[in-house]
Structure 1
Amino acid sequence: MLDFKEILSVTLILFSVIDILGSIPIIINLRQKVGHIQSEKATIAAGVLMVLFLLVGKSILNLFGIGVDDFAIAGALIIFALGAEMILGIEIFKPDPEATNSASIVPIAFPLIAGAGTLTTILTLKSEYTQLNIGVGIVINLIIVYIVLKSTNWLERKLGKTGLDVLRRVFGIILLSIAIKIFKSNLFEGVSF
């Protein structure tokens, strides 16, 4: 059943993790190196990865004997690291500088949009929200990603470096809070005292 509050929460969480606005400098730099970036191709490839992970991610975990709670805690730690990276201005997760042949897929679709943080977050969200609402949140984020990829020049001019830095830090704080909430709610799942 569609729940507007859940969809809004999922959308905001994924928006923070994907951090497409914070990735604008990377996207602009790639475009300068390789020329044109195919927004449609990048968005579709990222969407396929996210939806596949939403649908079969749990089966993959079961194959390795990992519980969703365990993965949620690991996801919370990654989300925390992403948030710290955004606030402190450090680079923990580094894109592959040699992947310039197909910049629309690597590194834009993966790992920039649908990277480890995003895929971990999608599976982590399954412990809190319904699959349908997560799917709608993914679609909304893909629309946002597509619009941003299509309008990087305009966004760069309008927001400026300071505006992008402020947005990045605000979403970093949101991510830290989300990580702590997910960590607390999954830490003692299945543990009986």
Structure 2
Amino acid sequence: MLEIDFREIATVGMVLFAVIDILGSIPIIVDLRSRVGHIQSEKASVVAMIIMILFLFIGEELLNIIGIDVNSFAVAGAFVLFFLALEMILGIRLYKEEESETASIVPIAFPLIAGAGTMTTLLSLKSQYHTINIIIAILLNIALVYLVLKSSSKIEKMLGSSGLGIIRKVFGVILLAIAVKLFAANVKGLFV
């Protein structure tokens, strides 16, 4: 039986929204668009969705192959989320992406949308929430990503740089709280 829970979908959706940070990425997207021209919104969204759903299902098996349990990965994910939240709140950059000459699948679909933080988050969430709810949250986020990619220049003009900064900081605080919760829920499993 499917365990569809709208509260779980909302929670997972907010976590993914904060990690993907598509609104905070608008300046990057606008810059890429100005340098390389047209960005294929549909292609980037579909590829990111496939990467995320595949990793949701095979990520745990990949971890088992290399001998890492889900609790360890979830704790590591909590640290990644913690540092992503610090980047968002403090406006600093701890991780620097390499510059790309094209904006097709790389760097929009991967690593901007479905990057290391998103992958870590998916496996961390899988340890606490039902898979169907995570998939629905992924689909909702990808729909939002597509809309933002399609209308990034309009959104940038509407919100302005200060509006984007406020949104980024609010979701940074939410992400920080989620990182603490993930750490607390999974750290006990390391010592059992």
Q: TM-score scaled to structure 1, two decimals?
A: 0.97
Partner deviation per Cα, 1:91-118 (whole Å, 9 max, x = no partner): 1122221x223x1211110000000000
- CA offset at residue 190 of structure 1? 5.3
Whether the 8 Å contact between 2:20 and 2:112 is mirrored in structure 1 is: yes
Q: Give 3-state SS (helix, strand or coil) of 1:65's partner.
A: coil
Structure 1: state its 5+ residue gaps.
Answer: none
Instruction: Give the equivalent residue in structure 1 for 2:82.
Output: 80
Amino acid at match of 1:154: K
- Give the AA of the match of 1:167: I
Provide the C-alpha distance between the structure 1 equivalents of 2:110 and 2:95, rounded to a whole number of angstroms: 12
Query: Aligned partners of 2:46 and 2:162: how far apart in 1?
Result: 30
Aligned pair 1:57/2:63, yes or no?
no
Q: Is the 8 A contact 2:72 2:190 kept in 1?
A: no
Aligned equivalent of 1:44 = 46
Give yes or no for contact 1:17–1:175 (8 Å, CA) kept in 2.
yes
Provide the residue aligned with 2:33 in structure 1: 31
* Separation (CA, whole Å) in 2 of partners of 1:107 and 1:38: 12
C-alpha deviations, 1:130-174, integer Å up to 9, x for none?
Answer: 111000000000000000000011101110000000000000000
SS of 2:139's equivalent in the other structure is helix
Q: CA RMSD for the aligned pairs?
A: 0.8
Q: Is this contact kept in 2: 1:95–1:112, CA < 8 A? A: no
Q: Secondary structure at 1:188's aligned position in 2?
A: helix
Task: Map 1:81-160 to 2 at 5 A.
Answer: 81-97=83-99, 99-101=100-102, 103-160=103-160
TM-score (norm: length of structure 2): 0.97
Counterpart for residue 165 of structure 1? 165
Give, as a single letter, the amino acid of the residue that structure 2 aligns with 1:100: E
Distance 1:144 1:166 in 2: 19
Look up the SS of the partner of 2:191 in the other structure. coil
**Count of aligned positions:** 190
Q: CA deviation at 1:29?
A: 0.2
Q: Percent of counterpart pairs with the same letter? A: 55
- For residues 68 and 82 of structure 2, the distance between their equivalents in structure 1, rounded to whole angstroms, comes to 20
- Displacement of 1:124 in angstroms is 0.4
